[in-house]
Amino acid sequence: MPISRRALLAVAAFCFSAPAAFADDASAPLDLSSDKRVKPGKGRPADAPKLTDDQIVAKANDFLNTTRFMSADFVQIGPDGRRSEGLLVVQRPGHMLFRYKPPQKMEIVADGRSVAIRDQKLGTQDLYLIGQTPLKFLLADHIDLAKDTSIQRVEMDDRAATIEIVDKATFGGKSDITLVFDPDTFELKQWTVIDPQGFRTLVSLFALDLVTKPDPDWFHIDDSVQPNLTRAR
């Protein structure tokens, strides 16, 4: 089945709709190979030093700000519970590509100014300003989670470092975003977003590559794809 338009907007805004199996421990990262929460004991040693909330946020900021480009395989669970897979590529500031695997015919592209949702089957695309979607933690040249968003919760255990934020700059209202980082490297592992309408989508990253520089052509938005559409400015 094709991905719904709301699911695509949720990915562009980063979100989650959980099957009942997720309810056991909503703060734990999800192993999408088994659709179960990661159990304790697979992460940091029990004697690892404890970090304060401020230190956790600082390490998350450091990863986000020093990572100028990355690529990863992703698994998405949309607001309707459907599962999709694909490739995520990011080059900061402002450039991103979500490319879905078949049978999906969709892409989400950010070119530094706008975000385009492309329907390759129909040959159309919708455009949004980057600032209308809560993408700043991936796309901004510099991010300070404490200053640029409202931090609601910070937790860390041997499974993950979790930071829950509220972004009030989202088009249509505020979005609740939960970022999940590896507790040792602080690489981004997963995010959940609840959009202004209350719909949720989860995205989990695998095989993260922080070395290979992406092809700039991947981030091109062709305004001629939908001639009647005026790019948002």
Q: Are 16 and 200 in contact (CB under 8 A)?
A: yes
Rg (CA), the chain: 17
Six-digit token pair at 85? 């897979």
**Which two tokens mark 136?**
């700043």
Amino acid at 62: D
CA atoms of 64 and 141, how far apart (whole Å): 9
Residues 151, 164: contact at Cβ < 8 Å?
A: yes
- pLDDT, tens digit (0-9, with 9 covering 90-100), for 104-130: 888 889 998 888 887 777 666 777 776
CA distance 177 to 165: 5
Q: Find where tokens 């999906």 sit.
A: 104
Q: State pLDDT tens for residues 154-182.
A: 999 999 999 999 987 665 678 899 999 99
User: Residue 102: what residue type?
Assistant: P
Average pLDDT, the chain: 78
What are the structural domains of the chain? 5-16+48-210 (2.50.20.10)
Q: What's the DSSP call for residue 106? A: E
For the chain, give percent helix, strand, coil, nearest 5.
Answer: 20, 35, 45
Q: What is the number of other CB atoms lying within 10 angstroms of the CB of residue 123?
A: 10
Q: How many CB atoms lie within 10 A of CB 179?
A: 23
- Per-residue pLDDT tens over the stretch 31-69: 544 444 444 445 556 666 789 999 999 999 999 999 999
Beta bridge partners of 153: 164
Q: Which residue did the predictor score with more confidence, 192 or 45?
A: 192
Alpha helices in the chain (DSSP H): 5-13, 53-66, 136-139, 145-148
Burial tier of 114 (Cβ tally within 10 Å: 0-12, 13-18, 19+): buried
Highest mean pLDDT among 8-17, 96-105, 129-138: 96-105
- Cα angle for residues 75, 78, 79 (degrees, 5° grid): 160
Other beta carbons within 10 angstroms of residue 227's beta carbon come to: 6
